[in-house]
Amino acid sequence: MNKQKKYLQQQIDKRKQENAFRELKDNNHLIDFCSNDYLGFAKETAIHQTNHQLESYGATGSRLISGNHTITEETEGYLANFYRSEAALIFNSGYSANVGLFQCLPQRTDTIIYDEYIHASIRDGIKLCNAKHFAFEHNNLTALEEKLNLATGLVYVVVESIYSMDGDAAPLVEVAKICKKHQAALIVDEAHATSIYGNGLGLVAQSNLENDVFARIITFGKAYGCHGAAVLGSKILRNYLINYSRAFIYTTALPLPSILAIKNAHEFLLKNLNRIDELKELITYFKNSTSNFQLLTSNSTSAIQCIIIPGNTEVKKVAENIQKNGFDVRPILSPTVPKGKERLRICLHSFNSQAQIDELLTIIKKNL
């Protein structure tokens, strides 16, 4: 074994020793309590089949070369209107949108201040720019102001509207007020909020903050059941990203069937808003059914619910037992979450039933 392979094996062995080794699993035959398909759109043929006679089914190149099409720009216009934004720019995924935005936006003399629970894709984008950056304690407004007092240059504050690991919401109204006071640009990742809050428009729109947010990142691979993402903001921001975002410039564009699916999903949502109500009813039912769970993270009113079971070994064992009983619930291990905060991450969907929730909770109680 050469030195390079030896190093890789050592790192793999380290993960195994920590019981944090990741493996790919195909559990599609189990009852889904782990996916981000909150409204069941991933299996809707009305979204994913098209009768369009397309000029091309493959993207053929980046959008600055051969991959830009009228359908793509029309969809971006539709998204801007749907989300009450001046402009929208589609990226290939939420990850590439975040990396592409933060890699090019803040400069060396600028400052980024972000919630400590911010998504890994935003952290990776921040690493690629040369700006100073500070984390503040999760959802702590006093800590945010303290960091803002240290900021220099152009200042950007970054939060998620709904956090992916705990499912809790950012205090967006208060954060926006603080940003306005300090002349900081607020950026909100709405990955887990779009299509569910604000009649599908997200938590920013539900809070009437569209004009107070510099940029929103929305994704289509979660509740919309498609693929891709978009950055919402001003036309100036859109033009800037087209010229400076490496994740946009140097990648093959999404193929047209994916672009059409994005628009179809939004149109389908408008005709099926009842699914949001069905999901919210199940969230309330789950919360009421777990009111006595001491290990439940209690701040989430979203589709993401978590039960803390400290220790990788312990939480993996419980998850495996749940899966053996026919339910797909995944453990979230350290280092993805801090040690001692390992958890079962339970995602609720409009297509789940109260009976399934009852059965799932019975199984969990037996294993705690």
Q: Where are the domains of the chain?
A: 19-39+273-367, 54-271
Q: Specify the pLDDT at position 227.
A: 96
Peptide bond into 335 cis (omega under 30): yes
Q: Domain 19-39+273-367 is in which class?
A: alpha beta
Token readout for 212 is 């107070």
Q: Is CATH 3.20.20.140 the classification given to domain 54-271?
A: no
Token readout for 70 is 């009228």
Q: Specify the pLDDT at position 54.
A: 77
Q: Specify the pLDDT at position 51.
A: 67
214 in Cβ contact with 221 (< 8 Å): no
CB atoms within 10 A of CB 272: 17
Distances (CA, A) of 161 to 53, 79, 139, 331: 38, 19, 11, 23
> Hey, which bits of 203-282 come out as E strands?
215-219, 229-233
Q: Specify the pLDDT at position 19.
A: 87
Q: Specify the pLDDT at position 295.
A: 64
91 in Cβ contact with 230 (< 8 Å): yes
Q: Specify the pLDDT at position 293.
A: 75
Q: Specify the pLDDT at position 294.
A: 66
Residue 345 CA neighbour count, 13 Å, CB half: 19
Nearest to 90 by CA among 201, 223, 200, 226: 226
| pLDDT in single tens digits along all 368 residues of the chain | 799 999 999 999 999 998 888 888 876 789 999 999 999 999 999 999 876 667 778 888 999 999 999 999 999 999 999 999 999 999 999 999 999 999 999 999 999 999 999 999 999 999 999 899 999 999 999 999 999 999 999 999 999 999 998 999 999 999 999 999 999 999 999 999 999 999 999 999 999 999 999 999 999 999 999 999 999 999 999 999 999 999 999 999 999 999 999 999 999 999 999 999 999 999 999 999 988 776 666 678 999 999 999 999 999 999 999 999 999 999 999 888 889 999 999 999 999 999 999 999 999 988 88
167 in Cβ contact with 306 (< 8 Å): yes
Furthest-apart CA atoms within the chain: distance in Å: 59
CB atoms within 10 A of CB 200: 24
| pTM of the complete model | 0.94
Residue with tokens 């909100």: 188
163 in Cβ contact with 139 (< 8 Å): no
